[in-house]
Structure 1
Amino acid sequence: MSTNFLKNYITAHHSALDSIPTESVEKIIQLFKTALDEDRQIFVFGNGGSAANASHFITDLGKGASDKTYKRFRCLSINDNVSWMTAIGNDYSYDDVFLRQLENYAKPQDIILMMSVSGNSPNLVKATEWAKNNQVYSIALTGRTGGKLKELADLLIPIASDHYGRVEDCHMHICHMICYAFMELEELQQQ
């Protein structure tokens, strides 16, 4: 194994981490605080590794952060119901797996947060278009270019990398910053 590969990987990862715009993460934290105060729902989703990150994030937000706040977050990872997703994919299209769930759940002023390295996943694009037309606020965590989500999302956080592993790791760093802000900052724990 090449020690240089590992050192270079860590150096590139530091560079990706340094590209996280903390003012945008702070904006997400404020949006989530408003959602908590106003009893709004937060939906998180993605494909592949981003789906795993969405599930992890909702676990931390729904359990860990909610254990510290004055009431519990209303949050859901909509990539976790395999039966529903496969029914939608089979009967309609895989492009509709998130959109059709949002049709059931989401209301105006709710929030969706998507994770996608490319920003071009058709199912995320369709969900964001639906959100825009239904007054649901959209947040996209993406890779360098932002893809199609760059033009659609209300708030975009692109990571300055095209490397799937580094971008997905940075997305999880953002998710942990959000959750730990609610777990560790007293001003976020009270109404």
Structure 2
Amino acid sequence: MKEQAEARIKELVTRYPSLSSLEESLRESAERLIRCYRTGHKIMVCGNGGSAADALHIVGELMKAFVCKRAITEEWQEKFAKLPDGAYMSRNLQMALPAISLVSETGLLTAYANDVAPDMNFAQQVFGQGNEGDVLIAISTSGNSKNVLYAAEVAKAKSITVIALTGHDGGKLKEYADILLNVPEKETFKIQELHLPVYHALCLAVEAEFYGGAD
């Protein structure tokens, strides 16, 4: 991991001392995410309620520029130059870190809930879209959300890395997590307040690794 990426983790625990116990797990999470992208894979994210909003937020930070510039490569500029609107595309498209929110497929989610089993809605997507080498970020403040647990189980069966973002004890989700990020709070809103800086730091670290320039 580059120095700039490492600095993002250090900055987080400096600003939020209560998260210092997670420093090694945060570093490992960043390294797993970086490895995922280096090998041409993707990240999937799921959660319920406020955690669903966090899933969408994470995808937003990865799929476009967060704090680093992400101008498209010369190779892509040459390809777009052959298109009628290529110059506009080259000016406005950005390099992306592939990420999928499993909470945004409304048609699939509602059909699965109605026709099959509502608590398997994320698991079906992991089964259908996930591949070995991908990463699933599974968010549950309690660590016991059934649909998130089932998604993590399917991920394990498919050799997909599971990073669990939970509250203080990790709940049942810790049994399926390759890396557990259990922030030290018990009340839902307080857990969510710490989840945001955690995933921001991870997104910043990964972006710095690929788009932060030379150390």
Q: 2:70 is matched with which residue: 68, 71, 79?
A: 68
Equivalent residue, structure 1, for 2:197: 173
Percent identity (aligned): 31
Q: 1:103 is matched with which residue: 111, 127, 137?
A: 127
Q: Is 1:32 matched up with 2:56?
A: no
Q: Tell me the secondary structure at the aligned position of residue 171 of structure 2.
A: coil
Matches within 5 A, 1:23-62: 23-62=24-63
CA contact (8 A) 2:166 2:182 kept: yes
CA contact (8 A) 1:138 1:154 kept: yes
Equivalent residue, structure 1, for 2:112: 88
Q: TM-score, normalised by structure 2?
A: 0.75
Q: Tell me the secondary structure at the aligned position of residue 113 of structure 1.
A: strand
Q: Is 1:133 matched up with 2:134?
A: no
CA contact (8 A) 1:110 1:136 kept: yes
Structure 1: which amino acid aligns with 2:60? T
Equivalent residue, structure 2, for 1:162: 186
Deviations 1:39-82 (A, max 9, x none): 11100010000000110111011112585387521111110111
CA apart distance, 1:181: 2.2
Q: Tell me the secondary structure at the aligned position of residue 65 of structure 2.
A: helix
Structure 2: which amino acid aligns with 1:54? A
Q: Tell me the secondary structure at the aligned position of residue 148 of structure 1.
A: helix
Distance 1:107 1:32 in 2: 14
CA contact (8 A) 1:117 1:142 kept: yes
CA contact (8 A) 2:46 2:103 kept: yes
CA apart distance, 1:94: 1.3
CA apart distance, 1:105: 0.6
Q: Tell me the secondary structure at the aligned position of residue 156 of structure 1.
A: strand
Distance 2:64 2:98 in 1: 11
CA apart distance, 1:22: 2.1
Gaps of 5+ in 2: 1-15, 74-94
Q: Is 1:78 matched up with 2:102?
A: yes
Q: TM-score, normalised by structure 1?
A: 0.83
Closer/same/farther in 2, CA of residues 17 and 143 from structure 1, 3 Å limit: farther
Distance 1:46 1:81 in 2: 13
Closer/same/farther in 2, CA of residues 17 and 45 from structure 1, 3 Å limit: farther
What is the aligned-residue RMSD (CA, Å)? 2.1
CA apart distance, 1:36: 1.4
Q: Is 1:115 matched up with 2:119?
A: no
Aligned length: 174
